[in-house]
Structure 1
Amino acid sequence: MSAGSTDEHRVPVSSGRAWYMVWVLVAAYSLSFADRMVMSLLIDPIKQSFAISDFQVSLLIGAAFALFYVIMGVPCGYLADRINRRNLIVTGILIWSVATAACGIAGSFAAIFIARMIVGAAEATLSPSAYSMISDSFPPNKLGRAISTYVIGNPLGTGAALAIGGSVIAFASSVPFVTLPIVGTIEGWRLVFVALCLPGIILSLLLLLTVREPARRVHPERVGKSVSWLEAPRYIRSHGRAFLFQFGGTCMLSLAVYGSMAWIPAFFIRSHSMPASTIGIYFGVQLGVCGVVGLLLGGVLGDRMLQAGYKDAYPRVMAFAAVLALAPSVSMYLVDSVNLALGLMAFSLMATGLTTGIAAAAVQYITPSHLRGQMGAIYILTASVAGVGLGPTAVAALTQFVFGEEASLRYALAVLAGVSLPLAAVLLTAGLPAYRACVSAQVWPSEEDR
C-alpha cells in the first residue's frame, strides 16, 4: 500500500482522539522500556545464575537488545510508511512480551541472549510507527509537545521497572524459588520477566480495539506514489550537514544517558552499599518524576521557541540541556554522600530529560511526511547504536579494562558523562545553521491536503 493511499481505516483525527492515541502509545512505550530496562536491576542475580562477568551482562543489557533493535528498525520504519501502523505496533507488543517472559525461563546465557535479541527486534516496530502516527495527528507547532509526551514512556517505564522490580527483588530475596503453573519452579528474580508478559497482552488488545489508524498528511504531489527504500538515504544526503550534526549530537546524548542508566543501580550498590530493592525504588521514582518533568518542559520550551521564530528551536534546546546536565552528571559519581549523589542524580535526570522528546521531534520536523517512518527508524538506529548498544558496554569496558576493578565503576561513569555531554553540545551548536536551512526548505501539507 502506498503512503498516499487512503482507506476506511484512515480517518482524520480529532484533538481529543489524537491525545488519547498519544497516551495509549505512552503506555506502550512505557512497557517497552520496562521490558528492556528491568535487567539493569537484576545484574547480580543474573551473574550468579549464569556464572558470567560484568562484560557479559553488559552484552545482555546492551548489544543483545540493540543488535536486532537496530537491524529491524529501518525495515519496520519502511513498513510504517506503507502499511497500517497501529497493527504493526500491536504485533510487535505481543512478540516482545512473550520474548520478555522467555528471558525469565532461559536456562543458559545463550538462551537469554537470544530472547533479548527477539525483544529488541519486536520493539523496533513501535517508535517509527508512533512518530509517524503522531506527526500525522498534530500541527507543526504542537509536534514537540506531542512527541515529548509520547517519550515520557521512557522514564515512566524505566521508573516503574526499577521501582516495582526493586520490590520484587526484596520478595525474591526472602523466597529464592517460586513455583508457577506451566513454567514450574524458577529462581525468584526470574518472576520479574515472566510477570511483564501479561500487561503486554492487555495493552495490545486495548490498542487494537480503541485506537484508529490516523490519516496520513501527504503533500498533493505525493498522492498515489509509493515510497522507495532509497528515498530516505537520498534525503539525508541532500541535507548532509543538518543530519550529520543532529544525529551526531543525539548519539553523544544517548551514550551519556543510556550508558549511565544501565549502571546507576550497580553504582549505588557498589559505591554506597545500598540494597538493590532500595535503589530500585529511589531511582525509579526519580526517573518517573524528574525525567517526565524534563521531557514535558523540553517539549513546551521547544514549541514556544519555535512559535517565537527560532527555526532551530529543538536542537538549540538540546545543546543547552547538554551543558546544563554536565556538572551534576559527572559529580554525582564522585561525591561521598549518598544523599548528595541522589540529589545530583535528580537534577541530571531532569536536565537530560529536556532533550529526549525533542530529539525525535527535531528529526520529524525536517522530514517530508512520506518518509517519517523511515527517518524515525534511522534516528532510532543511530541513537540506539550509541546509547543502548555502546553505552553500557563502554562503561563496563572502562571499569574492567582501564580501571581494573568493579569498585571503579563510579569513575567509568564520570568519564563517560564528562566526555559525551560536551561533545553533544558542540555538535548540536555547530549544526544550527544547516538545520535552519533545512527547516526553510521543508513544506508541511495543510489540513486540506490530508
Structure 2
Amino acid sequence: MAARGAGRAEDGGYPSPLRAWLVIAVLLLAYTIAFVDRQILSLMVQPIRADLQLSDTAISLLHGFAFAIFYTFLGMFLGRWADRGSRKAMIAGGMVLWCLATVACGFAQTFHQLFAARIMVGVGEATLSPAAYSLISDYFAPARRGRAMSAYTMGIFVGSGVALILGGLAVTAASQEAAVTLPLAGTVRPWQAAFMIVGIPGLAVAGLMLLVREPKRQERRKGDHPLPDMAETFAFFRARAGILFAIVTGFGVNAIISYGLSAWVPSLFIRVHHWSAGDIAFAYGVILLTSGCAGILCGGWLADRMTTSGKPDGALRASLLGMAAVIPVVPFVGLASSPALALAALAWTSFFLGVPTGIAPAALHAITPNEFRGQVTALYLFAINLIGMGFGPTFVALATDRVFQSDLAVGRSLALVTGLAAIVAFALIAAARRGYGAAVAAAHR
C-alpha cells in the first residue's frame, strides 16, 4: 500500500493513502469532539436562561463572542506556529485545554463564570484547525485534497449533530430530575452535568493525537530558502490582499447562516412549533448527521473532479453551486407554516451549506505556498469565527429582541439574517473567481 501510494506520479513524496486516511480519522474525531464541546450550549438555552436569569442576547454572547474572542485573535499566532512547529503537539495541548474548560462550564454559577469558561474553550479549540489543515495538505496531493479536507470538516456536522442529541437528552432529563449527582462534582443541575460529561472524552483523543507522525512539509519554495520572516509574510499577504479578502469574507458571511441556524433553530421549534427540546434535538441532529455530512462529501468530490478536469478554480465553482441552492430556500426554515416544511427546508439548506464548508480551505491552499498555509488558514478561521460565530447568533437575537420585539418572532429573525447572508456570501465568492487562476499559478512557481 505504501509503495503503491508513493509511486503514483501525482502523489510523489506524499505518505501512503492508508496512513493519510488514518490521520484523517484521528483529526475527524478531534474535530467532532470540538464541535460537541462548542455546540452543546444550543440545546440547553432554556434551562440556562432560567437558572442564570439571562436574555436571548446574553445567550448569544455565550454562543458567539465568548467563544470567538480569543479563538479569533490568537489565530494568526497559532497559524504561524503551525507553519513552523510541531502540529500534533499543538493540537494535543489545545485539546487538553478546551476539554478541561468545557468541564469548567459545568461548575459555572453565574453568567460571568460561564462566559470566562467559554473563552477558554475558544482558546483551546483555536489550536486545532490551523494545524489540522496544514497536516492534511502535507498528507494529500492537491488532486485528492478536496475530499480529504471535506472528510475532516465533516466533524462540524457530526459534532453538531451529536451535541444536539446529547443536549436533548440532558434537557429531557432536566424535566424529570431537578438535580444530578456526579462523582467529585456532587449535586448539580442537568445542564451542568452535560458540560462535565462531554468534556472528558477529548482527553483520551489528545493522547491519541500524539501518535500521529509529522509528515514532510510539501510544496515548499524551490532551493535552499529559509522560512519567511515577518517582512516576507506581510509582502505575501499584501500581494494577495484582494483575493484573500473576497474568499475569507465570503466564507465568513456564509458561516452566519450555519451559526445562526445552529443557535436558534431549536428555540424556533420550541417556541413557535411547540416541540419539546428532546424532539427537535433528535430531528436536527439527524439532519446534520445525514444531509450535512452528505453535502460536505459531495462538495469535496465535486471540487476534486473539477480540479482534475483542468479547472483550477474547481473549489470555488463547487462552492458557488452550493451557495446558489441555499439562497431561495433558507428563509423558509424560519417562515414555514408547519414543522414538516421547516424541517424539509432545513435538510435542503444543511446539504448545500455543507458543499462549500469542506472545500473552502482547499480553495485557499491552492493559492498559498506551504510556508504560509497555517497563517492563511488562521485568517480564514478568523473570518469564520468573528463574522459567522461572533455575529450570526447575535444578529438573530438582536432582530428578535430589538426589531420584532417578541420571542415568537425568532423565525422571522432567522429568515431575515440568513437570507441576506446567503446573497452577500454568493456575491463575494463570485467576485473572488476573477484572478483566481493566476493566483494558483503564482503559488506553484
Aligned to 2:156: 154
* Contact 1:298 1:353 survives alignment (8 Å): yes
Aligned to 1:83: 85
Counterpart selection for 1:204 from 203, 206, 229: 206
Length-normalised TM-score, structure 1: 0.94
Query: Residues 92-118 of structure 1, C-alpha deviation per residue, up to 9 Å, x if partnerless?
Result: 001100000000111111111000000
Moved more, 22-31 or 225-234: 225-234
Aligned to 2:10: none
Aligned to 2:23: 21
Aligned to 1:247: 248
Relative to structure 1, is the Cα distance of residues 223 and 182 closer, same or farther in structure 2, using a 3 angstrom cutoff?
farther
Amino acid at match of 1:96: W
d(CA) in 2 for partners of 1:286, 1:385? 26
Q: The residue matched to 2:156 in structure 1 has which SS? A: helix
Aligned to 1:269: 270
Aligned to 1:3: none
**CA positional deviation for 1:230:** 4.7
Matches for 1:254-403 after TM superposition, within 5 Å: 254-403=255-404
* Percent identical: 38
Query: Residues 59-94 of structure 1, C-alpha deviation per residue, up to 9 Å, x if partnerless?
Result: 000000000100111111111111110011000001
- Number of corresponding residues: 433
* Contact 2:27 2:152 survives alignment (8 Å): yes
Aligned to 1:411: 412
Amino acid at match of 1:405: S
d(CA) in 2 for partners of 1:33, 1:230? 35
d(CA) in 2 for partners of 1:197, 1:188? 14
d(CA) in 2 for partners of 1:173, 1:201? 30
Amino acid at match of 1:284: G
The gaps in structure 2 that reach 5 residues or longer are 1-12
Relative to structure 1, is the Cα distance of residues 12 and 436 closer, same or farther in structure 2, using a 3 angstrom cutoff?
closer
Matches for 1:73-152 after TM superposition, within 5 Å: 73-152=75-154
Aligned to 1:51: 53
Moved over 3 A (4+): 220-224, 229-233
Relative to structure 1, is the Cα distance of residues 434 and 197 closer, same or farther in structure 2, using a 3 angstrom cutoff?
same
d(CA) in 1 for partners of 2:225, 2:50? 57
Query: Residues 362-391 of structure 1, C-alpha deviation per residue, up to 9 Å, x if partnerless?
Result: 111111011111111111001111101111
Aligned to 1:4: none
Relative to structure 1, is the Cα distance of residues 81 and 328 closer, same or farther in structure 2, using a 3 angstrom cutoff?
same
d(CA) in 1 for partners of 2:219, 2:442? 16
* Contact 2:14 2:140 survives alignment (8 Å): no
Q: The residue matched to 1:179 in structure 2 has which SS? A: strand
* Contact 1:99 1:115 survives alignment (8 Å): yes
d(CA) in 2 for partners of 1:58, 1:74? 25
Q: The residue matched to 1:176 in structure 2 has which SS? A: coil
The gaps in structure 1 that reach 5 residues or longer are 1-10, 445-450
Q: The residue matched to 1:189 in structure 2 has which SS? A: helix
User: Does 1:183 find its partner at 2:185?
Assistant: yes
d(CA) in 2 for partners of 1:35, 1:234? 37
**CA positional deviation for 1:12:** 5.8
Counterpart selection for 2:66 from 60, 64, 70: 64
Relative to structure 1, is the Cα distance of residues 265 and 233 closer, same or farther in structure 2, using a 3 angstrom cutoff?
farther
Relative to structure 1, is the Cα distance of residues 98 and 425 closer, same or farther in structure 2, using a 3 angstrom cutoff?
same
**CA positional deviation for 1:218:** 4.7
Aligned to 1:7: none
* Contact 1:82 1:227 survives alignment (8 Å): no
**CA positional deviation for 1:220:** 5.0
Query: Residues 118-157 of structure 1, C-alpha deviation per residue, up to 9 Å, x if partnerless?
Result: 0001100000000000001111111111101100000000
d(CA) in 2 for partners of 1:119, 1:227? 31
d(CA) in 2 for partners of 1:292, 1:235? 34
Q: The residue matched to 2:181 in structure 1 has which SS? A: strand
**CA positional deviation for 1:344:** 1.3
Relative to structure 1, is the Cα distance of residues 311 and 220 closer, same or farther in structure 2, using a 3 angstrom cutoff?
closer
* Contact 1:232 1:374 survives alignment (8 Å): no
Q: The residue matched to 2:201 in structure 1 has which SS? A: helix
* Contact 2:47 2:171 survives alignment (8 Å): no
**CA positional deviation for 1:31:** 0.5
* Contact 1:320 1:425 survives alignment (8 Å): no
Amino acid at match of 1:371: F
- When the two chains are superposed, the root-mean-square deviation of aligned CA atoms in Å is 1.4
